[in-house]
Amino acid sequence: MAHAPAPKAATAAPVISRMLVHASEFRLNPSRRVVPAGVLIIQVKNIGQDDHDLAVRAANGHILKVTPTLHSGDLGTLRLKLKPGRYWLVCTIPGHEGHGMVRSFTVKKPVKKPARRR
Amino acid sequence: MARTKKAELEIERLLWRAGFGPRPGDTKRLARKGRKGAVEELLRPRGTKWAGPEAKVEGAPLDPLNVYGHDVLWWLDRCVRTRQPLAERMALNWHDHFATSNQKVGDVELMVKHYFTLRTHALGNFRKLLLAMLNDGAMQMWLDLAGSDKSSPNENFARELMELFTLGVNNGYTEKDIREAARALTGYTFDYDTKAFGYDADRHDTDFKRIFGKRGRFTAIDVVNMAVEHPEHPKYLCSKLWSYFTPRPVPKATLRQMTRVYKASKYEIKPVLRIILNHPTLYADLDAPDQVKPPVVFVAGMLRRLNRGITYDSWTYQLNEMGQQPFYPPNVAGWDQDAAWLSPATIRARFDAVGTLLRNDIKDGSLQGTETVDQAIASAIAATGRPLHTPRTRAAMKKYAAAAVDGRTDEWEIKHYFPERQRVLRHLLLAGPDAQVC
């Protein structure tokens, strides 16, 4: 006789956050500056005339992820798992960061909801 | 035409042109109030704002600020679920009038605030609406009001204020008036880091300006007031309002009446709408509608009629293909209306969008092979919320319904062709020629 599968331990659902960034000459405009730790999906829309891209840079200077080059009107997506800390959104096309295409954002520990009293 | 039938056709016309079409039960309920009573209900919205299922995409509520395309769905959802259709429709009309696009603003939060500026004043006072536009962040970004400095005044807002918002192209102003008004409109600021809008008196040009023949140390508010009080303004705005409700030219006497009422009320919008919505022209040729539904009205109206909500995000792309995405008007002049909505590409997009909506409604094998032509047509009409259709369409549906299953007697044919006939009939009712006009 087959045994019923053992019940799995309850696991917390991963926190998935979203951010929308508009890129143009020469600025990045993120929809939020603080997100909870966990998975972050960033969409970037190039509303400018020139090509741009979007990278996420950690505090140690490493580029964690970068989109392909986005032509005018293109939409790009990044998916990252981020720990608490400060990060930077940058356009890596030469000269663009220097012209202003850099914005920081903060990843914070998710706030635990207090357990309900019965 | 029977009296009751005529009354319902009038209400149906009113609800399409002054809103987004009827929800189930609306037409009969308002027909009992009569045309005048129905217009008053639209002009004085009360009670709960929303009806029908809340928008959800992949089971989650919309996130317009953080997910691309959800801004468009968010506005569409308001059109679908509103119980205050005229106010909501006027918000969309004002969006066309003040045509501000996120394509340049690049900030959905500002655009949503812009929507609320339009919606708050939708049925209110035009002077107040225009003054609110002056302080609206999205508008300040769109027409470069923010950052305009006395050393180099930006003329964009001043130009569109006269050309599009209040007077009409080359109608009672000169290039000098625009340049002088631009000087009066200097001083607004915006900080990209803090997203704070402000006003810096040091950046404002305090010298004398000459606008519309008057001389003074005019400010931004003075410019708005002078534009609204310009003798050409009432005629321009009343004609524009008329054009949102009927493609037919406004009779001269009606235009005179509207401008008189508009001026006497100190620029109230509602009294002008009351004249338009009660005018016989709006109800002419009830059996031959001549206004093309704008894409947002076409889609929202279909969902309202079917009592459905937004459950997928393809509408964002489909509205783009149809030629109208809220928050993204094509240019400062807004959308081209009426026949301009219809091209082979946009008609195809409308047809495809209905196909997407209906794709899972009727499965193969779900209908009996005994369904007659009349039953099939009656079933399709009932399932699509009894949309208006002409005798010509009815005849075409009858011809098709007979041919579609003629000789289909094998089991597999019955399983496929009877549901297919029903799918096509519903599709024709929702996307055929009759469904494009109101």
Nearest by CB to residue A31, choosing from B103, B109, B192, is B109
Q: Does the structure show a pLDDT above 50 at B2?
A: yes
Distance from the Cα of A60 to chain B's closest Cα (Å) equals 23
Is ipTM beyond 0.95? no
Per-residue confidence band for B331, with pLDDT thresholds at 50, 70 and 90: very high
**What local confidence, expressed as pLDDT, does residue A113 receive?**
67
Six-digit token string for B107: 């900030």
Q: Does the structure show a pLDDT above 90 at B23?
A: yes
**What local confidence, expressed as pLDDT, does residue A29 receive?**
97
Six-digit token string for B222: 């003075």
Pairs from B278-282 (Cβ < 8 Å, separation ≥ 24) = B278/B35, B278/B36, B278/B39, B279/B254, B281/B246, B281/B248, B281/B251, B281/B254, B282/B13, B282/B14, B282/B17, B282/B245, B282/B246
Neighbour tally for B426: CB within 10 Å:
22
pLDDT higher at B194 or B276: B276
pLDDT digits (tens, 9 = 90+) for B350-394: 999 999 999 889 999 999 899 999 999 999 999 999 999 999 999
**What local confidence, expressed as pLDDT, does residue A12 receive?**
60
Interchain proximity B192–A24, CB inside 8 Å: no
Task: Give all domains of chain A, ordered by start, each with its CATH number.
Answer: 16-108 (2.60.40.420)
Q: Does the structure show a pLDDT above 60 at B118?
A: yes
Tell which of A15, A17, A19, A22 to mutate to test the B interface (max B CBs under 10 Å).
A22
Percent of chain B with pLDDT over 90: 95
Distance from the Cα of B107 to chain A's closest Cα (Å) equals 7
**What local confidence, expressed as pLDDT, does residue A7 receive?**
46
Tell which of B65, B68, B192, B194 to mutate to test the A interface (max A CBs under 10 Å).
B68
Q: Does B61 touch chain A (CB under 8 A)?
A: no
Judging contacts by C-beta atoms under 8 Å, the chain A residues touching residue B317 are none
Q: Does B66 touch chain A (CB under 8 A)?
A: yes
Distance from the Cα of A20 to chain B's closest Cα (Å) equals 5
Closest CA to B206 of B228, B185, B178: B185
Average pLDDT for runs of 10 along chain A of length 118: 46 81 97 97 98 98 98 98 98 97 95 64
**What local confidence, expressed as pLDDT, does residue A13 receive?**
65
Q: Mark A86-109 as b/e (b = at least 16 C-beta within 10 Å).
A: ebbbbbbbeebbeeebbbebebee
Q: Could you tell me the CA-to-CA distances from B374 to A7, A65, B397, B432 in Å, in that order? A: 55, 61, 10, 19
**What local confidence, expressed as pLDDT, does residue A2 receive?**
42
Q: Which residues of A make CB contacts under 8 Å with B? A: 17-20, 22, 24, 27, 29, 31-32, 43, 45, 47, 75
**What local confidence, expressed as pLDDT, does residue A1 receive?**
39
Distance from the Cα of B70 to chain A's closest Cα (Å) equals 11
**What local confidence, expressed as pLDDT, does residue B339 receive?**
87
Q: Could you tell me the CA-to-CA distances from B287 to B3, B14, B28, B247, B282 in Å, in that order? A: 14, 14, 18, 16, 13
The domain locations on chain B are 84-283, 373-436
**Mean pLDDT of all residues belonging to chain B:** 96
Six-digit token string for A29: 């405009």
Q: Please give the Cα distance from A64 to A40 (Å, whole number).
A: 12
Q: How far apart are the first and last CA of chain A?
A: 40
Six-digit token string for B180: 């002088």
Q: Please give the Cα distance from B152 to A67 (Å, whole number).
A: 38
Q: Does the structure show a pLDDT above 50 at B311?
A: yes
The residue of chain A nearest to residue B63, with distances taken between CA atoms, is: A18
Q: Could you tell me the CA-to-CA distances from B142 to B117, B137, B139, B147, B329 in Å, in that order? A: 15, 9, 5, 11, 12
How large is the average pLDDT for residues B49-55? 93
Q: Does the structure show a pLDDT above 80 at B89?
A: yes
